[in-house]
Amino acid sequence: MPVYLIRRLAYALPIMLGVSFLCFMLVHISPGDPLVSILPADASAELQQQMMRLYGFDRSLPEQFVYWLWRALHGDLGTSIATSRPVTAEVFKAVGNTVMLAVMATLIGFALGSLFGFVAGYFRNSWGDRLASLMAIVGVSVPHYWLGMVLVIIFSSQLMWLPATGAGPGGSSDWAWDYAHIQYMILPAVTMSFIPMGIVARTVRALVADILSQEFVVGLRARGLSEWGVFRHVVKNCAPTALAVMGLQLGYLLGGSILIETVFSWPGTGFLLNQAIFQRDLPLLQGTILVLALFFVALNLLVDVLQALLDPRIERA
């Protein structure tokens, strides 16, 4: 395991460097001047040059990248152009909110997806299989933002059971683990859980159907093993692939929640990215994309290690 872990880390480091370069270049090749949002319309050329020197935009792109990467390695992602606050503080506060929401949505999606997948895989071509498969198709087909608006109309506007937007009473973004705050998470978490639920359900169904058709399952039943014992063997063989799918879905939710967080005004990285894009705030945009991308790489590394722990064949391969 130590050799496998070192090898995986060696693979991850150049990926992180490449991700950092792409984050920097993709933002810089987009059209527009980032200083337009803070400079007055009649700003003099001298003031424009002064602001460019302040934010480092007067240097060449290679110099900007090296300087930006060096500061990022020391935990300094720059200063927001729009708010003049440190990007690191804004990003990590938003990342905490997004991780909390994404983990909750992934757990809901994984639990429901596994349930539907096992039901569909064990009872193929039955009404349970058809119902579970229908739920999986709906999960991956329905647009997130549309589903979020429908849930807001039903549970917030009509039934008035749950709040529609925000992360806390009175518009507060300070989180606390009590019902007054948790109820703000329910609708966005349920909305975000539909896609991972559908993907996990379809994956688990295919795995279960394949495993149940293999000879070792027939042998286990021939030896008189109970259905519960067979089920445990099926779960053990499904776990590595299902865990990999769950890890990927968590990574996608961390970076792809911009529409959901905008619909529900959830103060996470998606909401922050939306603001940074419209305000043309390059330091904030770069910092947010970099942190999300590195989270995704680290999450994939963690999933690979957990897969190797669950299935030693992966490590030997």
Say how far apart CA 152 and CA 240 lie, in whole Å: 36
Say how far apart CA 59 and CA 63 lie, in whole Å: 6
In tens, the pLDDT along 268-281 reads 887 888 878 777 77
Tokens of 242: 């299902």
What's the mean pLDDT in 69-85?
80
Helix (H, G, I), strand (E, B) or coil at 86: strand
Q: Residue 33's pLDDT is what?
A: 60
Tokens of 277: 């894009």
Q: Residue 127's pLDDT is what?
A: 83
Mean pLDDT over the full length of the chain: 78
Q: Residue 254's pLDDT is what?
A: 73
Say how far apart CA 266 and CA 105 lie, in whole Å: 14
Say how far apart CA 249 and CA 173 lie, in whole Å: 25
Q: Which domains does the chain have, with CATH numbers?
A: 92-283 (1.10.3720.10)
- pLDDT exceeding 70 applies to what percent of the chain? 87
AA identity, residue 273 = L
In tens, the pLDDT along 137-189 reads 888 788 888 888 888 898 888 888 888 877 777 666 666 677 777 888 888 88
Tokens of 87: 């990007």
Confidence class for position 231, pLDDT limits 50, 70, 90: confident
Task: Name the pTM for this structure.
Answer: 0.73
What's the mean pLDDT in 42-67?
74
